[in-house]
Structure 1
Amino acid sequence: MKQLLLFVMLLGSVATFAQGTVSGTVTDADLGGPMPSATVIEAGTSNGTVTDFDGNFSLSVSSNSGEIEISYIGYATKTVSYTLSGGSADLGSIGLTADANTLSEVVIVGTGVIDLAEDRKTPVAVSTIRAQEIQEKVAGNVEITQALKSTPSAYVSGQSGFGDSQLFLRGFDNSNIAVLLNGQPINAMEDGRIFWSNWSGIADVANAIQVQRGLGSSKLAISSVGGTTNIVMKAAEQKEGGFARFLGANDSYMKGTAAYNTGVSDSGWAFSVLLDYWQAHRKWSRGTYGEGQNYFFAVGYKPNDNHNFNFLITGAPQLHGQKWSQPRDRIEADPKWNQHWWYDEDGITSERQNYYHKPVMNLNWDWNIGEKTDLSTVLYASFGRGGGTGPRGISTSRGSSILRGPDPDGDGPLFGQLDRDLIFEYNAGIGTGDNAEREGYIRRASVNNHQWYGMVTNLNHQFTENLSANFGGDIRLYTGDHFRQIVDLYGLNGWANDRPDGATVTNTFDADPWAALSNFADEGDRIDYDYSEDINYIGGFGQLEYSTDDFSVFFQGAVSTQSYQREGRFETDANGNQTTETSDQVNKLGYNLKGGVSYTIEGEHSIFFNGGYYSRQPFLDNIFTNVRTSNDLVNPEVDNEIIRSFEGGYHFQSSNIRASFNAYVTDWANRTTVSTGEIDPDPKVEGDEIFTNRLQRGIRQFHSGAELDFSWRTTDWLTLNGYLSGGSWIFKGKSTVAEYNDDTGELISEVAGIDRQGVKVSRAPQFTTGLGFRAKVVKGLSVDANLNYRASHYEFTDEFTSAVDYTPAELKPYSQTDAGLTYKFDLGSNKLTLRANMYNVFDYIGISNTDRFGFFTENGRTYNASLRYTF
């Protein structure tokens, strides 16, 4: 009897040990795509497994019902209940979200046009910044570029004004980094630049930022010489709720934000809204005040399982005082120095103020045509209004001594503070200002108004289990209006001889982002220049990818045609009368080809190689000899730029460690640049300067380098991350520089055969490294910090005006540390979150960037703190 009882107990223990199998697929809840090497453990045991390359898992469990725990580095651990039926349980797709993701359960739309690396099996060099980190670190008095500081080969030049930062990838600046917003290209059509001040509120509505360095996974024929930055905005949310937040920071910065989501109704409708307001006495340097708002409204509608629509409109009207580049000795003596501002009866004012309002709207439609086919389309439009203010008249040279107080160092008045009383006193003796004689001083605004309409569509079809294809189109229609108008006459009766008809202008217009929507100068009140440009772009693209569990190969191709046409309204006829002339239409064909291959070893290791060839159309600003004053085309005609790029890499990914190594070569030939310059025939004579338009062509840049980054979850409470990137970025060959008079468009000089061989590319550090951590101290409390080091950084060297050998000066290496603290209070189903940041903890101050006109300092220590209530 005892033997029989023992046998039954042993049999029961075996049955308890192996009751059945639980299976499922682990995916990224925010960006989609499988998550290989995620850890799956039966709760309360050490029994576990990891997901395969496609995120699938199968786990033998010891009871008919229970829980499994799924974890992955950088993501919140998820507990899922199961109940066996017939000895198994299929849990389907299980989405993991980033730790404490405050924007969870977001409906992602436009998945076919938002080019994410996860959508393609063949890897690229990529870094993804998720909602949690964006919400924590990009807060208030820093731009969204702050989130990219710890990305390999990325450099963010903070500068001093709100929204004035610049982003560099692998040594290439904003104009050569494609930036997409929910699949919508937002680089300026004329010159490729990005003005981050236009997107000051995007951090509050961003669900993720993905930085694809180099070739990237984008299928569009876009200007991604250095890489592609995808900003994924949230759509109308599924879950009802919202939040309210108040943030304060250094120098009287304050910001209030409120958001609410209705959730999805029974009929498939969802609505989301966000509003905020901010203001500050300054960012860090004097005179860098700012004020702005942000609005976001989204409507989602899902009538059935086959169609999903989302419409959104967002904008961030703002104004801020700027710190124009300063003389090196001036900012070394006083890093906060800024010569352009003063106080008056209206408060703080700056000679240099940026103001802009750019409402953006888009409509996404996702159509699930069939089991193997889906179509995604985004229609978008933006309407930019605003510009930047500056001096005109006697003080068009940087340091008119008549209008400035004494230099604080006692070295004379040249770089003293602007003095409003001196300006009125000077103008009082003139009456009507005269531009021809450079008598009088006014504050003008350079206005840039535009209308931009576009569409991106992508059809995805899965031919077989291994073969997929994408085909699509990209249409952009753009019109830009550029002119100058008077902001303040400072006591003058009017401003004369700054138009072809010689008329005196007396009307002024506020430099205000809301007023700029409708209240700007008509053609009779414009000064200095007045022109428009039409840029129309039509492109098509396609991609084929073949992939198995271990191997993938892809090929992409895109072709586009782009037309340019200019209308000048300050032209004169043979009798000297003002007229309007339209240039010939210029058409340029461009294309790109990309291909790649990857191989995965045992699920955790993968190697890849990608190559690409771009024939990129020149920017409009390089088509004309002087786009502000002339319809004349550059002769000989500017050809397409040629970019050849190759990269290879190794990725390792397990449940606790992710690491990537990438190496790259980018050869950028036949490059053309345009910039402004100044010739001063006699420095002792006030007002005899000749302002120039400088066209450089035949430039060749050669960028090569390597990057390493990793993230390691050492324990449940500590995660480390770091990166190391080094490059050799140099010019090669010879180029030609032509200098044109900015007022007349006449050629002043042309120098050919300028030797650039081996000259270092400037403005971004060629060596960067960093280390960071996030630690969970107790429940609800976490701290984090990042150290970033920059070296091999050279002064601006693009001003080649002669064949004389030139060796750029190297800036001093430096490091910065940023730190933060998060504490979450549970209030039942609601949460209260305290977040505090300190940037540049050890208060490093030094020269961080240079341009043609002067030097910029890195901001010293700044800080902010916020309290957020989520309901």
Structure 2
Amino acid sequence: MKMLSKKTSLALMLTMSTASFYFAQSTQDTLSKDTQIEEVILKGVTDIAKDRKTPVAVSTIKSAQIIERLGNRELPEILNTTPSVYATKSGGGFGDGGLVMRGFESRNIAVMVNGMPVNDMEGGTVYFSNWTGLSDVTSTLQVQRGLGSSKLAIASVGGTVNFLTRSADMKKGGVIRLGVGNNDYLKTSFAYNTGKSEDGWATSFLMSRQAGSTYIQNSEYESYAYYFALGYKPNEKHNLQFMITSAPQWHDQRTYAPTINNFIKFNPDHDGSPDRTYNSDFGYRTDVNGNRIAIANRSNYYSKPVMMLNWDWAMNEKSTLSTVLYMSNGRGGGTGDIGSVGGKGMSTFYDAEGHYDYDKIFAANAAVNVNASGARSTLVRRASINSHNWYGILSNFQHKINDNWNFSVGTDDRYYYGYHYQVVSDLYGASGYKDATNANIAPNVVSALYDYKKLSWNPFGGSVAPMNERIGYSNDGEVLWYSGFGQLEYSTDKLSAFVQGSVSNQSYQRIDNFVQNGITIQQNQTVNTKSGFKDLVGFNVKGGANYNINEVHNVFANIGYYSKQPFFNSVYPSNRQVVNPTLTNEKIFSAELGYGFRTPKLNANVNVYRTQWGDRWMRRTGLTHTLVDGSTIQGYSEVSGVKEIHQGVEFDGVYKAFSFLEFQGMFSWGDYFYEGNATGANFDDNNNPVTVAGGTNTNELYLDKVKVGGTSNNSIPQMTASLGATLKPVKDLDIYGTWNYVGKVYATMDAATFTKAGNQALKLPDFNLFDLGASYKIRLKDSAQYFTIGANVYNLFDTTYIQDGATNIKTKQLSDFTDSATAGTAQQQYSAYQATLYKGLDPSNRVFFGFGRTWSATLSFNF
């Protein structure tokens, strides 16, 4: 790659952190791509990586590739050709996809929009259903694996994903786009940019709607997206950009991973193969006309508008100040069941098709006199609300000392208030629901319903349920975050280096509205029991250097240490007001070496890394607990004292064989495992302690040398590979195909499995997937106007594969069987058992199968 001049390099560094830039698509026009990114992003706080400059492992995807190839897939799936990245559809509901990088899930990956962190401030989670609109407005998507180049005090343990949206002053023009696909997928969008006026004003906006269902049963959804940007540049010193974007949506879900047995049992073809579409989280009710109406037990609805005001001030030739003010008011939640009827829960009402029999549920509920019965005597659908108000300011001052040295200092300050409670979403035929936890209700019966399909478009507020309509629990989380950071950079044409550090204070407070503490409660009186703020100080220090040996070869290294504050639910574990007595910061040490190779024909990178993560606390969700009486219940486990090692090797490259043919490839190998044992405590989905078989709530978990799996029905692969080709046989026609391999896949760590020594995480079968697509432009006489026709087929050969596993039930051996007068000899039993295995797996394991063959097509008009 041709080097930028020293003058250009230093100018770019005034508004960006030094960086390492590598494009996953075409290598042509390499030099101009840095310029393109500088033109379309909001500068100053984004910390974009540049090739042969910043010593980090990085991959970058442009908007054209997202629009051309994403189709009706999940937004993170566009990253599956990136080394050490595994993006799946998880349960399969719209926007429910999971993301893993270097063995770390999204809560430990810093997800950012224009350099602004968007991970939930209580738990670090990122729900991509809230960000579906980004696929339409992202100009550049950059992935920095490992510690990354961001100066902020963020937990980029696995890496950083930064969505860089287009700015208001893009070139004048617009686009109308229509997309169709399998399962009634329909998406329409319209976008327009005014261009910059003579007075320095510019606007850009987009609106879109998509609806349909995914590949799985009863997965209907509806999503809207809007984006508006207003820019004003009165002179060369000041540049102001305002942006607001949101994607209000609702979607029916599949959150429970069925057993392999049930995928096969409930296949209507009864041919011994699994029905990959099977969803056990819904059922049918017969209406007065005899029609079967589908009802979802598990659904999600949310609206998370984000507003940002960015001000770039060129104070003089050497100094710049960039400041972002932002706010986000998220409203919504997810549904599930609560209570029981006749002592029976939802799992006792399955019909012969493996779905809920709502006729029986409605009839059983209707027979209950709620006022005369005990608490939780009806079986209803509840909505667990997880809303928030979030405000922040991010400011970065950068100064050019001389031609080689630059420094920057800044602050990242935030305030967050989260609302967490339950309301009734559907009474399932009952006259009400009696609650025993909310002392603000008399006589403790709730009949008010909250429609989860009612989308909130209000960016400034939205509804919060009154206290007397809340059930189950009602607690708020308050977070104060303030931090300072600094960075010193050195750069020449040959050598670039940086050292940076940050310190932050996270202050957590829990407010429980249902805690009584001996107080006499009157109807509609709010109990506002505050825990008081708990301050946690953390810091990180990191540095690195890149050396350009010549025009072809470069090497880099980075190293860093994080003292990371734990998440909110480890400060107040078990959903109580008591601060964790063993609370401690998590310690993360990471080091990386990299090599780059650049020629006109071939661009390639090799990285070697190791990350050590100690004193980790985590919550394993989506588990099934076996109780003392042998019955089961869904819930989670809180696990403390965890230490993990993540290490591996990565390769990625692009080879331009001819002007019309290009190959892209990557390979990653990892070794992720636990070091030492840990402790787990068990709870149900309504936060009640669970006494599991063995008569205890807390267990020692024998995790030493166990391979790392996910935390929420997600799996983690430790080997991935990809090979793609792009063919351009004629002008404006692109034909592209991709092969993806996923191996060494380990299922979620089911805490109950590791209460005994000697167990290992369940290893799922390796799999290969192929995608194929094409795109063709039809140009009109006006060069700025053209139609684009595109089509994609995903999982071209309809491969059946398991993408995620939720349990760790090992396959039995002959030694596990004994001779029996009724069941036969041990060998006979073992042979019969082997006949039930699915690709070597015990069929009682709970899993999510990946989607079969799906497709999408688009037609767009640019003008």
Q: Same fold (TM over 0.5)?
A: yes
The match for 1:42 is none
Question: Could you tell me which of 104, 112, 115 is aligned with 1:180?
Answer: 112
Q: Aligned partners of 1:313, 1:562: CA distance in 2, in Å? A: 27
Q: How much has 1:679 moved relative to structure 2?
A: 4.5
1:612 aligns with 2:560: yes
The match for 1:758 is 705
Q: How much has 1:469 moved relative to structure 2?
A: 0.9
The match for 2:587 is 642
DSSP-derived class of the 1:117 partner: coil
Inter-CA distance 348–376: structure 2 relative to 1 (3 Å threshold):
farther
Q: Aligned partners of 2:610, 2:668: CA distance in 1, in Å? A: 14
| Structure-to-structure mapping, 1:678-693, within 5 angstroms | 679-681=625-627
Question: Could you tell me which of 508, 517, 536 is aligned with 1:564?
Answer: 508
The match for 1:368 is 314
Q: Aligned partners of 2:630, 2:545: CA distance in 1, in Å? A: 63
Paired residues of 1:721 and 1:772 also in contact (CA < 8 A): yes
The match for 2:350 is 404
1:459 aligns with 2:397: yes
The match for 1:125 is 57
Q: How much has 1:850 moved relative to structure 2?
A: 2.1
Paired residues of 2:425 and 2:451 also in contact (CA < 8 A): yes
The match for 1:68 is none
Q: How much has 1:695 moved relative to structure 2?
A: 2.5
| Structure-to-structure mapping, 1:66-77, within 5 angstroms | 74=26
Q: Aligned partners of 2:342, 2:136: CA distance in 1, in Å? A: 39
Inter-CA distance 640–97: structure 2 relative to 1 (3 Å threshold):
closer
Paired residues of 1:435 and 1:498 also in contact (CA < 8 A): no
The match for 2:642 is 699
CA RMSD, aligned part only? 3.0
Q: How much has 1:761 moved relative to structure 2?
A: 0.8
Q: Aligned partners of 1:111, 1:199: CA distance in 2, in Å? A: 21
The match for 2:78 is 147
Paired residues of 1:837 and 1:865 also in contact (CA < 8 A): yes
The match for 1:95 is 32
Q: Aligned partners of 1:275, 1:28: CA distance in 2, in Å? A: 37
Paired residues of 2:52 and 2:554 also in contact (CA < 8 A): no
Q: How much has 1:73 moved relative to structure 2?
A: 7.7
Question: Could you tell me which of 506, 520, 523 is aligned with 2:447?
Answer: 506
Identify which range, 322-331 or 143-152, moves more after superposition: 322-331
Inter-CA distance 293–347: structure 2 relative to 1 (3 Å threshold):
farther
The match for 2:325 is 379
Inter-CA distance 179–54: structure 2 relative to 1 (3 Å threshold):
closer
1:860 aligns with 2:852: yes
| Structure-to-structure mapping, 1:446-595, within 5 angstroms | 446-501=384-439, 503-515=444-456, 518-574=462-518, 577=521, 579-595=527-543
1:822 aligns with 2:775: yes
1:162 aligns with 2:115: no
| Greater gyration radius | 1
Counterpart amino acid of residue 780 in structure 2: L
Question: Could you tell me which of 222, 233, 236 is aligned with 2:154?
Answer: 222
> How many pairs align?
779
Counterpart amino acid of residue 485 in structure 1: V
Q: How much has 1:796 moved relative to structure 2?
A: 1.7
Per-residue deviation, residues 555-578 of structure 1 (Å, max 9, x unmatched) = 010100010001100011326747
Counterpart amino acid of residue 847 in structure 1: I
Paired residues of 2:375 and 2:436 also in contact (CA < 8 A): no
Q: Aligned partners of 2:295, 2:859: CA distance in 1, in Å? A: 31
The match for 1:626 is 574
Question: Could you tell me which of 92, 95, 114 is aligned with 2:46?
Answer: 114
Q: Aligned partners of 1:703, 1:583: CA distance in 2, in Å? A: 36
Per-residue deviation, residues 662-694 of structure 1 (Å, max 9, x unmatched) = 000000000011345565546577xxx677663
Counterpart amino acid of residue 704 in structure 2: Q
Paired residues of 1:831 and 1:869 also in contact (CA < 8 A): yes
Counterpart amino acid of residue 851 in structure 1: A
Q: Aligned partners of 1:181, 1:154: CA distance in 2, in Å? A: 19
| Structure-to-structure mapping, 1:61-460, within 5 angstroms | 74=26, 95-96=32-33, 107-118=39-50, 121-139=53-71, 141-159=72-90, 160-280=92-212, 282-324=213-255, 325-332=257-264, 333-342=274-283, 348-394=294-340, 400=346, 402-406=348-352, 408=353, 416-432=354-370, 436=374, 438-460=376-398
1:597 aligns with 2:545: yes
Q: How much has 1:419 moved relative to structure 2?
A: 2.4
| Structure-to-structure mapping, 1:706-855, within 5 angstroms | 706-739=649-682, 749=696, 754-762=701-709, 763-799=715-751, 802-829=755-782, 830-851=785-806, 854-855=846-847
The match for 2:825 is none
Inter-CA distance 742–248: structure 2 relative to 1 (3 Å threshold):
closer
Q: How much has 1:395 moved relative to structure 2?
A: 7.8
DSSP-derived class of the 2:763 partner: coil
Q: How much has 1:624 moved relative to structure 2?
A: 1.0
Identify which range, 164-173 or 803-812, moves more after superposition: 803-812
Q: How much has 1:537 moved relative to structure 2?
A: 0.5
Q: How much has 1:612 moved relative to structure 2?
A: 0.3
Q: Aligned partners of 2:748, 2:26: CA distance in 1, in Å? A: 39
**Unmatched tracts of structure 1, length 5 or more:** 1-22, 35-52, 56-70, 79-93, 99-103, 409-415
DSSP-derived class of the 1:793 partner: strand
Inter-CA distance 149–774: structure 2 relative to 1 (3 Å threshold):
same
Q: Aligned partners of 1:147, 1:794: CA distance in 2, in Å? A: 22
Inter-CA distance 708–273: structure 2 relative to 1 (3 Å threshold):
same
Inter-CA distance 733–527: structure 2 relative to 1 (3 Å threshold):
same
Q: How much has 1:584 moved relative to structure 2?
A: 2.4
TM-score normalised by the chain length of structure 2: 0.85
The match for 1:59 is none
Identify which range, 675-684 or 183-192, moves more after superposition: 675-684
Q: Aligned partners of 1:478, 1:716: CA distance in 2, in Å? A: 52
Paired residues of 2:20 and 2:53 also in contact (CA < 8 A): no
Paired residues of 1:221 and 1:560 also in contact (CA < 8 A): yes
Per-residue deviation, residues 44-70 of structure 1 (Å, max 9, x unmatched) = xxxxxxxxx999xxxxxxxxxxxxxxx
Q: How much has 1:261 moved relative to structure 2?
A: 1.2
DSSP-derived class of the 1:572 partner: coil
Q: How much has 1:401 moved relative to structure 2?
A: 5.6
Counterpart amino acid of residue 742 in structure 2: R
The match for 2:811 is none
**Unmatched tracts of structure 2, length 5 or more:** 265-273, 710-714, 808-844
Q: How much has 1:384 moved relative to structure 2?
A: 0.4
Paired residues of 1:725 and 1:767 also in contact (CA < 8 A): yes
Q: Aligned partners of 2:777, 2:683: CA distance in 1, in Å? A: 60
Q: How much has 1:598 moved relative to structure 2?
A: 2.1
Q: Aligned partners of 1:231, 1:374: CA distance in 2, in Å? A: 23
Q: How much has 1:848 moved relative to structure 2?
A: 0.8
DSSP-derived class of the 2:330 partner: strand
Per-residue deviation, residues 527-546 of structure 1 (Å, max 9, x unmatched) = 00001110110011111111
Relative to its length, the structure with more strand (as a share) is 1
Paired residues of 1:357 and 1:513 also in contact (CA < 8 A): no
Paired residues of 1:215 and 1:227 also in contact (CA < 8 A): yes
Q: How much has 1:553 moved relative to structure 2?
A: 2.1
DSSP-derived class of the 1:626 partner: helix
Per-residue deviation, residues 241-272 of structure 1 (Å, max 9, x unmatched) = 10101110001110110111111111010111
Q: Aligned partners of 2:432, 2:411: CA distance in 1, in Å? A: 51
Inter-CA distance 698–684: structure 2 relative to 1 (3 Å threshold):
closer
Q: How much has 1:222 moved relative to structure 2?
A: 0.5
Percent identity (aligned): 37
